[in-house]
């Protein structure tokens, strides 16, 4: 009764003239596309769905399974198909809201419309009590955030303990991640234990395997779960989201070539899907994400030629003029358009900083995007940082100092438009870019300090250390925005002081977070040669050779 009372109070939010029509829930491009097909997808959810149409029930079930399979947009299409057959299907409305949780800007109105319609249906007594419980928990999520949603799903689950999906949603919103040593935080451990208990009952459930792996994508010790990620793709071999997940695990374990292959297969499947249904990159940011990660994996294996060629080709893919606020457009502007520059900044060979600056989008394109995005601040910050590195390479100390002063003002200016980025639906990509610039600018200031006569002062150490502390592991199934481990310049700083033991510690620490990373391995091998550690240098050289051969 408490659930129904709460929903009754919430229903006052629905406009007096009634809820929106069903068409308000459906993005025009989806309505115009080739109809989504019922077929084989990763399965696991078998709950009863209240609907007057049998096919609507099937579409809702398939949509729920796709949510648990990591393909929200395809899940959304199935929920839309269900609503077109039965506009009063409550769980189809739940599915629309849930499948659009991580989307921004373009889908926001559709999500709000679905929530308003769901509340009106609940007020009218639609659905079963458990289905209304799903709406209750989802509204708690929208109003109060993940922790409140976890509590709400747990509350409903106590009344319906046989509904595995309720427990999965509780675990998903309960998770809190891992600490810097790779140990799960308290709430994360609680969430993991719940999923672990479910897996004991159904050890071959691909849905539970995926849930487990998704909960642990930011874990430090990825090798523990890599066999499960491989098994998942063996059980469901032609499902793009699972292949992307596998690529993430392979890369985080230092298996760069295997990662590139997984991302390549993943991208091919997304391309086939787009071709089959008439969609483009605006509707498939997952393809862009896979291509970005594939290029990073290739660079990690030492194949910069292929990585840079892939990044260059990706940046040339046009964004449809009528979809400038789509998820695909966001991914292109913030990730694809800067990938080539970030790869070159990782390699940092002679002339690479100039090449990186030249690879950034032209001013004309930036001006065209300015009404739809705050990405120009990212491009400007990157360009300024690269100009500073070019000045250092040219030994133009005065110019480098001048740029350092300009950089000190850029991040505060960028911070001032964070609110505008939120209104545009760009908070996630904006925050990721802001973090990258903090790292890149701090590293540049460290390089500037090292270029001076008093290079052994603590100034360079402070800048490099600050960059290292800001550098986090990859999140949201993306590679880190900053592609050079900051342990590399910090290790070289210690080498400049003749402290080879501390430099070795820095490189070894970096390899815990970036297994078999060639930049770290090559820096360590050079340090070992300089410190006359012949045995260590030989062993590291053999490892470098093995990584290059395997990859």
Summarize pLDDT for 94-139 with one digit per residue, the tens: 999 999 987 566 888 899 999 999 999 999 999 999 999 999 999 9
CATH code at 537? 1.25.40.10
Q: Picking from 42-56, 236-250, 305-319, 379-393, which range would have the lowest pLDDT averaged per residue? A: 42-56
Helix (H) or strand (E) holding 119: helix 108-123
469-496 tens-digit pLDDT: 999 776 779 999 999 999 999 999 999 9
Domain that holds residue 549: 486-551
- What pLDDT is recorded for position 183? 85
Query: Average pLDDT for residues 53-59, to the nearest whole number?
Result: 95
The residue from 130, 161, 176 where one domain ends is: 176
Candidates 303, 14, 227, 296; CA nearest to 135 is: 14
- What pLDDT is recorded for position 11? 40
Record the tokens describing residue 357, joined without a space: 């600056």
Cα 182 to Cα 500: distance, rounded to the nearest angstrom: 27
State how far the alpha carbon of 429 is from the alpha carbons of 104, 331, 337, 433, 476, in Å. 11, 8, 13, 6, 11
The residue from 139, 161, 176 where one domain ends is: 176
Query: Which residue carries 């390699």 as its tokens?
Result: 347
- What pLDDT is recorded for position 241? 97
Residue 527 lies in a domain: yes
Residue 313 lies in a domain: no
Angle at alpha carbon of residue 251, lines to 247 and 252, rounded to 5°:
115
CB neighbour burial string for 82-94, b if at least 16 within 10 angstroms, e if fewer? bbbbbbbbbbbbb
CATH code at 169? 1.25.40
- What pLDDT is recorded for position 456? 57
Number of domains in the chain: 2
Query: Average pLDDT for residues 301-308, to the nearest whole number?
Result: 94
Angle at alpha carbon of residue 111, lines to 105 and 113, rounded to 5°:
120
pLDDT at 43 over 80: no
> Bridge-partner residues for 184, per DSSP?
178
528-549 tens-digit pLDDT: 999 999 999 999 999 999 888 7
The stretches of 451-517 forming alpha helices (DSSP H) are 458-470, 487-496, 500-513
Give Cβ neighbours of residue 152 (< 8 Å, ≥ 6 apart): 136, 137, 140, 141
State how far the alpha carbon of 497 is from the alpha carbons of 444, 455, 478, 493, 537, in Å. 19, 9, 36, 7, 20
Residue 124 lies in a domain: yes
C-beta separation of 333 from 369 below 8 A: yes
Query: Which residue carries 């091998």 as its tokens?
Result: 525
Q: Quickly count: other Cβ atoms within 10 Å of residue 409's Cβ.
A: 9
Residue 227 lies in a domain: no
Percent of the chain with pLDDT over 90: 80
Query: Average pLDDT for residues 239-253, to the nearest whole number?
Result: 97
Cα 190 to Cα 196: distance, rounded to the nearest angstrom: 10
Residue 216 lies in a domain: no
2-17 tens-digit pLDDT: 343 333 334 444 445 6
Could you tell me where the beta strands, DSSP code E, fall in 159-305?
Answer: none
Query: Average pLDDT for residues 145-153, to the nearest whole number?
Result: 94
């Amino acid at each position: 009764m408490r659930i129904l009372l709460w929903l009754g109070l919430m229903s006052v939010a629905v406009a007096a003239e009634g809820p929106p029509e069903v068409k308000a829930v459906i993005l025009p491009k989806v309505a115009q596309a080739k109809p989504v097909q019922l077929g084989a997808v990763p399965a696991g959810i078998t709950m009863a769905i209240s609907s007057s149409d049998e096919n609507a029930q099937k579409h809702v079930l398939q949509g729920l399974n796709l949510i648990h399979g990591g393909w929200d947009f395809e899940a959304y299409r199935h929920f839309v198909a269900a609503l077109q057959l039965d506009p009063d299907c409550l769980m189809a409305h739940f599915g629309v809201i849930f499948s659009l949780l991580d989307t921004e800007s373009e889908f926001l109105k559709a999500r709000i419309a679905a929530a308003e319609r769901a509340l009106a249906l609940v007020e009218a007594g639609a659905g079963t009590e458990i289905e209304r419980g799903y709406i209750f928990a989802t509204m708690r999520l929208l109003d109060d955030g993940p922790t409140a949603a976890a509590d709400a799903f747990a509350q409903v689950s106590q009344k319906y303990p046989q509904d595995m999906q309720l427990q999965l949603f509780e675990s998903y919103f309960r998770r809190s991640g891992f600490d810097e040593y790779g140990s799960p935080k308290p709430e994360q451990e609680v969430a993991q234990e719940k999923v672990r208990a479910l897996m004991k009952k159904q050890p071959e459930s691909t849905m539970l395997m995926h849930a487990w792996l998704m909960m642990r994508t930011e874990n430090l010790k990825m090798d523990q779960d890599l066999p499960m990620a491989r098994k998942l793709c063996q059980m469901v071999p032609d499902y793009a989201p699972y292949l992307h997940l596998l690529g993430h695990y392979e890369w985080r374990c230092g298996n760069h070539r295997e990662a590139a292959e997984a991302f390549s297969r993943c991208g091919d499947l997304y391309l086939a899907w787009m071709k089959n249904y008439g969609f483009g990159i605006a509707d498939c940011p997952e393809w862009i994400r896979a291509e970005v990660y594939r290029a990073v994996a290739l660079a990690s294996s030492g194949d910069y030629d292929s990585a840079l060629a892939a990044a260059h080709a990706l940046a040339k893919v046009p964004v449809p003029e009528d979809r400038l606020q789509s998820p695909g457009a966001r991914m292109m502007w913030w990730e694809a358009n800067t990938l080539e520059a970030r790869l070159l900044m990782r390699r940092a060979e002679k002339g690479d900083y100039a090449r990186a600056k030249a690879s950034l989008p032209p001013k004309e394109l930036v001006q065209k995007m300015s009404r739809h995005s705050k990405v120009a601040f990212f491009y400007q910050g990157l360009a300024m940082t690269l100009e500073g590195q070019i000045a250092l390479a040219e030994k133009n100390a005065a110019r480098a100092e001048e740029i350092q002063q300009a950089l000190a003002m850029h991040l505060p200016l960028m911070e001032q438009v964070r609110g505008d980025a939120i209104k545009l639906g760009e908070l996630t990509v904006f925050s990721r870019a802001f973090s990258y610039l903090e790292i890149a600018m701090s590293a540049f200031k460290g390089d500037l300090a090292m270029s001076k006569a008093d290079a052994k002062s603590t100034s360079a150490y402070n800048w490099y250390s600050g960059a290292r502390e800001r550098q986090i592991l990859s999140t949201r199934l993306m590679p880190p925005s900053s592609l050079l481990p900051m342990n590399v310049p910090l290790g070289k700083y210690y080498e400049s002081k003749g402290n080879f033991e501390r430099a070795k510690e820095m490189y070894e620490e970096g390899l815990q977070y970036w297994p078999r990373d060639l930049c770290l391995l090559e820096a360590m091998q050079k340090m070992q040669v300089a410190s006359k550690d012949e045995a260590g240098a030989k062993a590291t050289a053999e490892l470098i050779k093995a990584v290059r051969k395997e990859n």
